[in-house]
Amino acid sequence: LELRRLDDRPGIVREITRLLAEQGVNVERLVTDVRPAPMSSEMLFHAEAILGMPLTLPLETLQKHLETLADDLMVELVLKED
């Protein structure tokens, strides 16, 4: 899971981890930082996580929930299957 947001604010990680916990998803690794945007000097919040998903949870279902949350938080979430 990769997350990018233009304006850093408290609660972003809490909202995402709450959704993941509700779906039974474990966060196995989480790295967060704030870095400059490629085309401007604005600081971007960035997070990358490795998730442990239950076998009973389809990836498409988690993707749908994450997309809804991403719209609410105004963030870009990228879910990749490895």
Tell me how far apart the alpha carbons of residues 68 and 82 are, in angstroms, rounded to a whole number. Answer: 22
E-state strands within 1-82: 2-5, 26-36, 43-52, 76-78
pLDDT at 66 over 80: yes
- What is the value of pTM for the model shown? 0.82
pLDDT band at 1 (very low <50, low <70, confident <90, very high): confident
Q: In what order do the strands lie in the sheet with 2-5?
A: 26-36, 43-52, 2-5, 76-78
Predicted local distance difference test score (pLDDT) of residue 6 = 57
Q: What is the pLDDT of residues 26-45, one digit of tens each?
A: 999 999 888 887 888 788 88
Beta bridge pairs of residue 45: 5, 34
